[in-house]
Amino acid sequence: MTKTPRLPAIDPQAVELREGSRYPGALAEPCAKRLKRAMGDAAGLTHFGVNLVWLPPGAWSSQRHWHANEDEFIYVLEGKLTLITEDGEQTLGPGAAAGFPAGLADGHHLVNKTGRNAVYLEVGDRAAEEHVTYPDVDMRMDRTKAGRVVAHKNGKPYR
Protein backbone atom coordinates (compact mmCIF):
# COMPACT_ATOMS: atom_id res chain seq x y z
CA MET A 1 0.00 0.00 0.00
CA THR A 2 1.39 3.39 -0.98
CA LYS A 3 0.89 6.26 1.40
CA THR A 4 -0.20 9.59 0.03
CA PRO A 5 2.53 12.08 0.90
CA ARG A 6 1.51 15.06 2.98
CA LEU A 7 3.29 18.05 4.36
CA PRO A 8 3.60 17.79 8.16
CA ALA A 9 3.73 21.56 8.73
CA ILE A 10 0.66 23.13 10.33
CA ASP A 11 -0.46 26.74 10.06
CA PRO A 12 -1.85 27.47 13.56
CA GLN A 13 -4.12 30.17 12.12
CA ALA A 14 -5.82 27.54 9.94
CA VAL A 15 -6.72 25.34 12.94
CA GLU A 16 -10.21 25.87 14.36
CA LEU A 17 -10.24 28.18 17.39
CA ARG A 18 -12.37 26.81 20.24
CA GLU A 19 -13.56 29.12 23.00
CA GLY A 20 -14.50 28.13 26.54
CA SER A 21 -14.88 24.64 27.96
CA ARG A 22 -17.36 21.79 27.92
CA TYR A 23 -18.05 22.12 31.64
CA PRO A 24 -21.71 22.29 32.70
CA GLY A 25 -23.42 25.53 33.77
CA ALA A 26 -21.62 27.87 36.14
CA LEU A 27 -18.55 25.58 36.26
CA ALA A 28 -17.72 26.79 32.74
CA GLU A 29 -17.64 30.51 33.64
CA PRO A 30 -13.98 30.82 34.78
CA CYS A 31 -12.86 29.21 31.50
CA ALA A 32 -15.34 30.98 29.19
CA LYS A 33 -12.68 33.20 27.58
CA ARG A 34 -10.04 30.48 27.18
CA LEU A 35 -9.09 29.92 23.53
CA LYS A 36 -7.61 26.67 22.14
CA ARG A 37 -6.36 25.32 18.87
CA ALA A 38 -6.09 21.48 18.76
CA MET A 39 -2.73 21.28 17.00
CA GLY A 40 -2.32 17.54 17.61
CA ASP A 41 -5.64 16.82 15.91
CA ALA A 42 -4.63 19.01 12.97
CA ALA A 43 -1.40 16.99 12.64
CA GLY A 44 -3.32 13.70 12.72
CA LEU A 45 -1.75 12.60 16.02
CA THR A 46 -3.60 9.77 17.77
CA HIS A 47 -1.41 8.85 20.76
CA PHE A 48 -1.19 12.28 22.38
CA GLY A 49 -2.83 15.68 22.09
CA VAL A 50 -1.22 19.09 21.73
CA ASN A 51 -3.19 22.28 22.26
CA LEU A 52 -2.07 25.86 21.73
CA VAL A 53 -3.92 27.78 24.44
CA TRP A 54 -4.53 31.50 25.05
CA LEU A 55 -5.65 32.73 28.46
CA PRO A 56 -6.75 36.36 28.55
CA PRO A 57 -6.57 38.29 31.84
CA GLY A 58 -8.66 36.62 34.54
CA ALA A 59 -9.25 33.37 32.62
CA TRP A 60 -8.64 29.87 33.96
CA SER A 61 -7.24 26.95 31.97
CA SER A 62 -9.72 24.58 33.64
CA GLN A 63 -11.27 23.76 36.95
CA ARG A 64 -8.55 22.39 39.22
CA HIS A 65 -8.24 18.68 38.35
CA TRP A 66 -6.04 15.58 38.09
CA HIS A 67 -6.03 12.62 35.71
CA ALA A 68 -6.06 8.95 36.72
CA ASN A 69 -4.61 7.61 33.45
CA GLU A 70 -3.17 10.49 31.46
CA ASP A 71 0.05 12.43 31.83
CA GLU A 72 -0.19 16.17 31.22
CA PHE A 73 2.52 18.71 30.41
CA ILE A 74 2.45 22.48 29.85
CA TYR A 75 5.06 24.88 28.43
CA VAL A 76 4.59 28.65 28.69
CA LEU A 77 5.29 30.59 25.50
CA GLU A 78 4.15 34.14 26.37
CA GLY A 79 2.97 36.04 29.43
CA LYS A 80 2.77 34.92 33.03
CA LEU A 81 0.49 32.30 34.53
CA THR A 82 -0.19 31.23 38.07
CA LEU A 83 -0.02 27.47 38.53
CA ILE A 84 -2.27 26.42 41.42
CA THR A 85 -1.78 22.97 42.98
CA GLU A 86 -2.38 21.31 46.33
CA ASP A 87 0.90 22.90 47.49
CA GLY A 88 -0.08 26.47 46.64
CA GLU A 89 0.71 28.92 43.87
CA GLN A 90 3.71 29.34 41.60
CA THR A 91 4.25 31.94 38.86
CA LEU A 92 5.34 30.60 35.48
CA GLY A 93 6.75 32.81 32.74
CA PRO A 94 7.99 32.20 29.19
CA GLY A 95 10.13 29.07 29.00
CA ALA A 96 8.73 27.57 32.20
CA ALA A 97 7.21 24.10 32.10
CA ALA A 98 5.29 21.81 34.43
CA GLY A 99 4.31 18.15 34.30
CA PHE A 100 1.51 16.25 35.95
CA PRO A 101 1.96 12.46 36.03
CA ALA A 102 -1.09 10.23 35.66
CA GLY A 103 -2.49 9.03 38.97
CA LEU A 104 -0.89 11.76 41.09
CA ALA A 105 -3.76 13.18 43.17
CA ASP A 106 -2.57 16.78 42.91
CA GLY A 107 -5.31 18.98 41.49
CA HIS A 108 -3.89 21.69 39.25
CA HIS A 109 -4.86 24.48 36.89
CA LEU A 110 -3.50 27.72 35.45
CA VAL A 111 -4.93 31.18 36.08
CA ASN A 112 -3.96 34.38 34.31
CA LYS A 113 -3.79 36.91 37.15
CA THR A 114 -2.09 39.57 35.02
CA GLY A 115 -3.44 42.29 32.73
CA ARG A 116 -1.93 40.71 29.59
CA ASN A 117 -2.67 37.62 27.51
CA ALA A 118 -0.73 34.43 28.17
CA VAL A 119 -0.05 31.60 25.70
CA TYR A 120 1.06 28.05 26.43
CA LEU A 121 1.29 24.58 24.93
CA GLU A 122 -0.65 21.79 26.61
CA VAL A 123 0.33 18.18 25.88
CA GLY A 124 -1.38 15.05 27.14
CA ASP A 125 -1.84 11.45 26.19
CA ARG A 126 -5.11 9.99 24.96
CA ALA A 127 -5.85 7.05 27.24
CA ALA A 128 -8.78 4.90 26.06
CA GLU A 129 -10.26 5.06 29.55
CA GLU A 130 -9.93 8.02 31.88
CA HIS A 131 -11.23 9.35 35.17
CA VAL A 132 -10.72 13.04 36.00
CA THR A 133 -11.15 14.25 39.57
CA TYR A 134 -12.08 17.88 40.30
CA PRO A 135 -11.33 18.41 44.02
CA ASP A 136 -12.85 21.89 44.40
CA VAL A 137 -16.22 21.44 42.66
CA ASP A 138 -19.04 18.87 42.39
CA MET A 139 -17.88 17.33 39.14
CA ARG A 140 -16.11 14.30 37.74
CA MET A 141 -15.45 13.08 34.21
CA ASP A 142 -15.30 9.48 33.10
CA ARG A 143 -14.38 8.30 29.61
CA THR A 144 -14.82 4.68 28.55
CA LYS A 145 -15.34 2.91 25.25
CA ALA A 146 -19.03 3.75 25.68
CA GLY A 147 -18.30 7.51 25.71
CA ARG A 148 -17.62 10.50 27.92
CA VAL A 149 -19.77 11.36 30.94
CA VAL A 150 -19.52 14.54 33.00
CA ALA A 151 -21.25 13.92 36.31
CA HIS A 152 -21.67 15.09 39.87
CA LYS A 153 -19.28 13.43 42.33
CA ASN A 154 -22.07 11.01 43.29
CA GLY A 155 -22.14 9.77 39.68
CA LYS A 156 -25.41 11.45 38.59
CA PRO A 157 -24.78 12.90 35.10
CA TYR A 158 -25.19 16.62 34.50
CA ARG A 159 -28.12 17.37 32.19
The residue ranges of every structural domain in the chain are 15-129
Give the contacts of 7 (CB within 8 A, at least 6 positions apart).
none
Q: What percent of the chain is predicted at pLDDT more than 70? A: 96
CATH class of segment(s) 15-129: mainly beta
Instruction: Report strand pairing: 81-85 vs 72-78.
Output: unpaired
Query: For residue range 18-59, what is the model confidence (pLDDT) as tens digits?
Result: 999 999 999 999 999 999 999 999 999 999 999 999 999 999
